[in-house]
Amino acid sequence: MTFPQVMTGRAVACARPLPAALIEARAAVFNPLLCQDLNQTARRVLFGILTFLNLARLHKAVFPRRDLLRAESLLNSEPTLYRGLKALEVAGYITRSQERRVHNGEFSLSPITVTKKALSMLGLSGLIHKQRSLKVRDGQYIEHTKPEQSLQNTVQQAEVARQNLAPKDAISSPQTCGIRADESAPVNDIDPHTGLPKDLLRLMALDVSKGAICWLMKQARGAGVRLSHVVATVWHRIRSLRGREVVSYLKFMVHMKMDFAFVAKQCADTAAKEHADTRARAMLESLGERYRGFELVSADGVMLGVFEPSASGLHAIVGARGSIPVNLAFAKQVLAGGLRLRAPQDLYVHAYA
């Protein structure tokens, strides 16, 4: 570029040695799957802005001349350049402000701030990290060991511990009707007040006495099944019955040839799936405009995109590789801990035109 061209505003684009990341980002600007809310003029202006960014100082300001920015944007006039800047600002890819020159009342500087949305979509947000450097001792594992002791002392200590725990294991639940509450039920699943398994307490709401429940447990044990599995399998049928009707029905069911454990597990899985779907739908309904700009982060801390709400309810995560739909599967991943939304960090790129 010659000096007269610079002075007359007839600057032309010249070959520039750019990093590979910026070359890929400039190519992604014209990808039809990305930046779908931009027209061709806005894409060219964003293409030109990326020319002056520095990967080592993304948050620092750069000062390209307007004629240079127009030339790098492959445009023919400055009014077209301003229309492209306005389109980028409306779409949320950049923000602009006016600054006065030092010791001068004129507005001569127009800073351009590239938002997190544009950086994330073009794959520039995760290039610079602030993790501390690894050291040699970080890879060394220190084994936790106990002081050496004789085998005799170890055996004696184990015997004393077993004797101390024996009375507690022997009395895992109160005795009722001459039998234990349930031989295969864990200690934590026993109600301390009634001595019955917690999943059988709902029978008492059907006017079934404690003695009748113990008698049914004895009948189920004789048939080789668990009363808890039987109740879980037929609960949708007995919840409308009362008293003796419930006892008679359960007495008949425990002697049937059926894999109650398998059916009860299927019922529990179905109930858990319905509960998870309900929580996921409630989470989707809570998402809205207040989460605009929130970052989607994976379990290992990698940023995947930025949350962009929609008035129609079809929200999306805008990332470097395209858009991720915010649907039921997305909500389940967030509730499971595989993904999480976090407030945006103040990490922007400033450019001046």
> Helices 244-253 and 227-238 meet at what angle, rounded to 10?
130
- In our burial notation (b when 16+ CB lie closer than 10 A, e otherwise), range 45-59 reads bbbbbbbbbeeeebe
Distances in whole angstroms, Cα of residue 89 to Cα of each of 38, 84, 86, 252, 286: 11, 9, 5, 73, 28
Threshold 0.95, pTM exceeds: no
Give the DSSP H/E element, type plus range, for residue 342: strand 339-342
Residue-wise pLDDT for 144-175, tens only, equals: 565 655 555 555 565 655 555 544 443 334 44
pLDDT tier, 136 (very low <50, low <70, confident <90, very high otherwise): low
pLDDT at 346: 47
The CATH fold of domain 3-127: Arc Repressor Mutant, subunit A (1.10.10)
Residue-wise pLDDT for 11-52, tens only, equals: 566 677 788 888 888 888 898 888 888 899 999 988 888 888
Query: What number of residues does the chain have?
Result: 353
Average pLDDT over residues 122-136: 60
Chain centroid to Cα 118, Å, comes to 21
Residue-wise pLDDT for 73-92, tens only, equals: 888 888 888 888 889 888 88
pLDDT at 175: 41
Residues contacting 141, CB < 8 A, separation 6+:
none
What is the rounded CA–CA span in Å between residue 271 and residue 276?
Answer: 9
* Positions of CATH 1.10.10 in the chain: 3-127
User: What's the chain's Rg over C-alpha atoms?
Assistant: 35
Residue-wise pLDDT for 211-242, tens only, equals: 889 999 888 888 888 888 888 888 888 888 88
Residue-wise pLDDT for 105-128, tens only, equals: 555 567 788 888 888 888 887 655
